């Protein structure tokens, strides 16, 4: 008789009643009842790791693409819309200072009175000049060097931007009428500026105007050596 048949003949209940001991064997746990391995407990498969790595590469590529696009946009803006120009000298005091960095633009620009422009004067210097437009084509300009007043078409113009009255004549003989396609320019520091009053500058061909000054990008030092940082972004 094998062990299984002996177990069938043994009266476990009677033995427990008589001796107070339960000899029944412990039931085996069903393997099917064992808890399944959760997703979080599973080890990442090689395919999942590759997907995560590929996703990280794509994010890095997107960031690089954004950075390159921003740089290209900045270059296009400065080439076709605005350029950085440095002011040299004190002819535009107290509006612009020596070593100011300014942004200028020539996009769809037509010169008008009061604009500060960057221009070429090849007979005077190879470097660009920064001056203010005082009169445009067809207007008649005259200057009274005794009083320092400037007249356009017989009317005195209000010049609250100049440092001092216009007392330096240079080569100017007025009145003069501005030819078509030209402008007359002067510096705001009238008595320390070589401009259209000088025969080597004279009337400025509008085709020689590189653009209009938009704002101050970086202020240069004031005459006392300090810098006025509040001028950043100032239109003038």
* pLDDT per position as a tens digit, 64-92: 777 876 676 555 556 556 789 999 999 99
211: Cα separation from own chain's centroid = 19
Specify the pLDDT at position 43. Answer: 55
| Angle 150-156-158 from CA coordinates, rounded to 5° | 85
pLDDT above 70: percentage of residues in the chain: 72
* Contact indicator for 119, 129 with CB cutoff of 8 Å: yes
Specify the pLDDT at position 201. Answer: 97
DSSP three-state, residue 56: helix
Higher pLDDT, 130 or 7: 130
- Give just the sign of the alpha carbon dihedral 33, 39, 44, 46: positive
Which DSSP helix (H) or strand (E) runs through 125? strand 125-136
Domain parsing of the chain, residue ranges? 44-81, 84-225
- Gap between the Cα atoms of 176 and 152, Å rounded: 10
Is residue 106 pLDDT above 70, yes or no? Answer: yes
Specify the pLDDT at position 83. Answer: 87
Specify the pLDDT at position 71. Answer: 72
Higher pLDDT, 177 or 17: 177
Is residue 50 pLDDT above 50, yes or no? Answer: yes
Query: Measuring CA to CA, which residue among 100, 87, 116 is closest to residue 187?
Result: 116
Asked about 49 being catalytic, the answer comes back as: no
Asked about 91 being catalytic, the answer comes back as: yes
Specify the pLDDT at position 108. Answer: 86
In CATH, 84-225 is 2.10.109.10: yes
**18, 101, 131, 158: the active-site residue:** 131
Confidence of residue 31 (pLDDT cuts 50, 70, 90): very low
- CB contact set of 10 (below 8 Å; sequence gap of 6+): 23
Confidence of residue 103 (pLDDT cuts 50, 70, 90): very high
* Contact indicator for 204, 154 with CB cutoff of 8 Å: no
**8, 18, 49, 91: the active-site residue:** 91
């Amino acid at each position: 008789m094998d062990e299984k048949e002996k177990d069938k003949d043994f009266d476990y209940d009677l033995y427990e009643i008589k001796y107070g001991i339960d000899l029944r064997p412990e039931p085996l746990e069903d393997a099917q009842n064992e808890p399944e391995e959760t997703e979080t407990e599973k080890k990442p498969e090689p395919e999942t790791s590759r997907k995560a790595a590929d996703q990280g590469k794509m994010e890095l590529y997107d960031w690089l693409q954004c950075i390159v696009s921003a740089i290209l946009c900045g270059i296009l803006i400065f080439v076709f819309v605005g350029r950085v120009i440095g002011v040299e000298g004190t002819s535009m005091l107290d509006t612009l200072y020596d070593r100011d960095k300014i942004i200028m633009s020539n996009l769809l620009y037509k010169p008008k009175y009061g604009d500060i422009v960057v221009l070429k004067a090849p007979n005077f210097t190879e470097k660009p000049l920064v001056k203010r437009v005082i009169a445009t084509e067809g207007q008649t300009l005259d200057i009274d060097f005794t009083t320092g007043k400037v007249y356009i078409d017989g009317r005195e113009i209000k010049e609250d931007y100049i440092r001092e009255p216009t007392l330096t004549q240079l080569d100017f003989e007025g009145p003069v009428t501005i030819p078509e396609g030209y402008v007359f320019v002067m510096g705001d520091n009238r008595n320390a500026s070589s401009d259209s009053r000088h025969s080597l500058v004279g009337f400025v061909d509008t085709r020689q105007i590189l653009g209009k000054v938009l704002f101050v990008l970086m202020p240069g030092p004031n005459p006392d050596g300090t810098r006025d940082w509040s001028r950043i972004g100032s239109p003038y």
